[in-house]
Amino acid sequence: MSNTVSYAAQSPTTPLAHHLISRRSVGPTDVQIAVEFCGVCHTDIHHSRNDWGRANYPMVPGHEIIGKVTGLGSNVSHLKLGQQVAVGCFVNSCRTCSSCEAHMEQYCLNGFTATYNSPSKDPGGFTYGGYSKSIVVNEHFVLKVPDGLDPAGTAPLLCAGITTYSPLMHWSVKPGMTVGVIGLGGLGHMGVKLSHALGAQTIMITTSSGKAADAKRLGADAVLISNDAAAMQAMANKFDFLLNTIPVAHDFNQYMPLLKVDGSMCIVGAIGPNAELNSGPLIFGRRSVAGSLVGGIKETQEMLDFCGRHNITADIELIRMDEINQAYERMIKSDVKYRFVIDMSSLN
């Protein structure tokens, strides 16, 4: 067992601040990682402030982790000291259920162990995340970072990247398809980049005409203003797939008429109750509405390799660890393009 410096919330109302935590000793199948960069996800705010009612304190958030290997268990042979690696949203699963056997650990039927705030046999009784100088993770859940990718910009790929890549893969997005990405934020900007790289005609759907130029810079072929009724009507029955990244409860029914017959909309942003489902557009077009979480370990590695081949990273603003509380307030106001990443060398 070893101690490491972190930033933690001590309650739902206290700002994050310096806190010393203990990490487990490196076991035979473990990897010790010195954290270099950690992305900031909106989930970090929800957990820190107990918005979902299941917070455990002290809370050390962070599940978009990039770092260097500093220790290897005796049974770990596929990684080496000094190698740059990544850790995403979870650090364990049962490994034996049908989902885990199908490389979909994110849907573990016995519940995965999240990178932070999950019950654990580790010191403290709960997992502590990437807002820390080091972390110890089972080798199965450690990912390789492709050479050449900017490590800071790569960090958000571990959540925002895989959250958008997984549904694009599941619905087989490819050239010749028309894809709409709804909402231009941390998730949406990655959805545009990835859909474009997959060769689909990619249309950003937003309420703000002011985002059009940025959407096209990111790879969108066109922009559809969703509160323009005439424009929406003109695009009815045009889309094969809609990736809905809006992070708050909203009426998703307004987008369903955009889909072709047999088209699907996948919701990845808003978790929990939304608008009441209007089954009319579904029935009169055999359309579907679905949801998706992150990807499994195998698919996350495939996503990183895909981003390596296409030189895709997130658009980020790099911050110091002691700027995290201000960053949270700015995120709530959507004042970031498009993801904060913490330079962990600033934590001493």
Phi and psi at 307, nearest 5°, equal: -65, -35
CB 76 within 8 A of CB 22: no
CATH of the domain at 247: 3.40.50.720
The answer to the question of residue 218 being in a domain is yes
Q: Which of 323, 327, 325 is closest to 339 using CA atoms?
A: 327
Sort residue 145 into left (φ over 0), alpha (ψ -120 to 50) or beta.
beta
Exposed / middle / buried, residue 335 (Cβ in 10 Å: 0-12, 13-18, 19+)? exposed
Q: Which residues of 208-243 are buried (b: 16+ CB within 10 A; e: fewer)?
A: eeebbebbeebbbbebbbbeeeeebeebeebbbbbb
CATH of the domain at 140: 3.90.180.10
Both structure tokens of 122: 């580790």
Distance CA 246, CA 210 (A): 17
Residue 127 and residue 43 share a domain: yes
Residue 117 and residue 6 share a domain: yes
Domain count, the chain: 2
pLDDT at 139: 98
Q: Are strands 2-8 and 17-23 parallel, antiparallel or unpaired?
A: antiparallel
Distance CA 259, CA 145 (A): 36
Distance CA 136, CA 152 (A): 20
pLDDT in tens, 243-284: 999 988 899 999 999 999 999 999 998 888 888 999 999 999
Decide: helix, strand or coil at residue 134.
Answer: strand
Distances (CA, A) of 243 to 40, 291, 324, 342: 22, 9, 29, 27
Phi and psi at 140, nearest 5°, equal: -60, -25
Residue 154 and residue 23 share a domain: yes
The answer to the question of residue 301 being in a domain is no
Residue 118 and residue 24 share a domain: yes
pLDDT at 1: 86
pLDDT at 271: 84
pLDDT at 272: 85
Q: Are strands 65-72 and 84-87 parallel, antiparallel or unpaired?
A: antiparallel
Residue 96 and residue 32 share a domain: yes
Domain range for 231 is 160-291
The answer to the question of residue 335 being in a domain is yes
* Global pTM value: 0.96
CB 155 within 8 A of CB 37: yes
pLDDT at 316: 97
Instruction: Tell me the chain's radius of gyration from C-alpha atoms.
Output: 20
Q: What residues have CB less than 8 Å from 133, skipping those under 6 apart? A: 4, 5, 6, 34, 35, 344, 347
In which residue ranges of the chain is pLDDT below 70? none
